[in-house]
Structure 1
């Protein structure tokens, strides 16, 4: 996959893989809300909330190819905080983060683990 449609194709791939109808908005008290990329309603009444990250795995800087990771940026930190709020306030809300190209940075992976969010890397 290549930009500029890479993230859209990644979301579509995970939506099709999960059997999701597409993005859905979940209200989050005091934080606006959370758009989930690939939510799936489960027979038990819960929601498997697929979150897709499609950052590039490699980047060339001054002719040198460098491996990239998905950083724990402020926006991503807020997304995780919203997922934690939803898990605590929406019965059986279960976030799953899917990394399709670049893996999460160690800092991001540690933050996901601290918040008991499962992640899957496809590289």
Structure 2
């Protein structure tokens, strides 16, 4: 895997962690049953394909729209966001909202305006949002 793709995976994983620590705490599970540690979802590359590792099921889910997302436990809107993340990781191009929802700019996430702004600003800082 090339260095730029690795940097984009790290950036998206930092964004996922940032989102998991605020507001509705998407992508976060309180405790792992085995270790007792808090668990956050993340993206990874395996065999040159992008996967999402679910915080609840611990399953690797092939992160491409149009494919089964069995093992994904976070709902369709978050699945669309994960697919947008996957496009960004693979291409480096802005992909926010291309999978059929309003993206991180949407007002439908249920966060306070302040938290939503924090998430958007962070996503801009790492280069995910324009």
User: Given the two structures, how large is their TM-score scaled by the length of structure 1?
Assistant: 0.31
Specify which structure has the higher proportion of strand.
Answer: 1
Greater Cα radius of gyration, structure 1 or 2: 1
